[in-house]
Structure 1
């Protein structure tokens, strides 16, 4: 798994995202937002898997699916 190679910029971006997720988890936890904590934790774990190469950066590229187009 994780056959996609990351450039150093990509790796830094994923590391930054993971760091921000950790900080968001702390904020959500202080607010007692359990569901947000759970979802942020899942994203944090996913980012770690992408960092380590256990998962590809995009499931859409692997399956040929298109993004949903949901704006965040």
Structure 2
């Protein structure tokens, strides 16, 4: 499943964001079971952000700004 948002139809984007939400929820449970409080917090913030995007309360991107690009980190 591709999670790249650019160039995909809206339906695919919604499906991808829903998938991200699901995975973040599962990752949070793993982090919680390991007692990784800061990691739980960061994952929870990403989960909330993804939920806001999925529901339309927040745009997918704040815009193309210098220095706001991908870190190039493989996921």
| TM-score > 0.5 by shorter chain | yes
Matching of residue 34 in structure 1 with residue 13 in structure 2: no
Please identify which structure carries the higher helix content: 1
Query: What is the number of residues matched between the two proteins?
Result: 64
Could you list the runs of 5+ residues in structure 2 that have no partner in the other structure?
1-8
Spell out the pairing of 1:1-72 with structure 2 (5 A cutoff): 7-59=10-62, 61=63, 64-65=64-65, 66-67=68-69, 69-72=71-74
> TM-score with structure 2 length normalisation?
0.78
CA offsets per residue over residues 43-66 of structure 1, 9 Å max, x none? Answer: 00000000111100011x2xx314
* CA distance in 2 between partners of 1:49 and 1:28 (Å): 22
Tell me by how many angstroms 1:68 deviates: 5.0
Tell me by how many angstroms 1:42 deviates: 0.2
* CA distance in 2 between partners of 1:30 and 1:69 (Å): 28
Runs of 4+ in structure 1 over 6 Å off: none
* Greater relative CO, 1 or 2 (CA 8 Å, sep 6+): 1
Alignment root-mean-square deviation, CA = 1.5
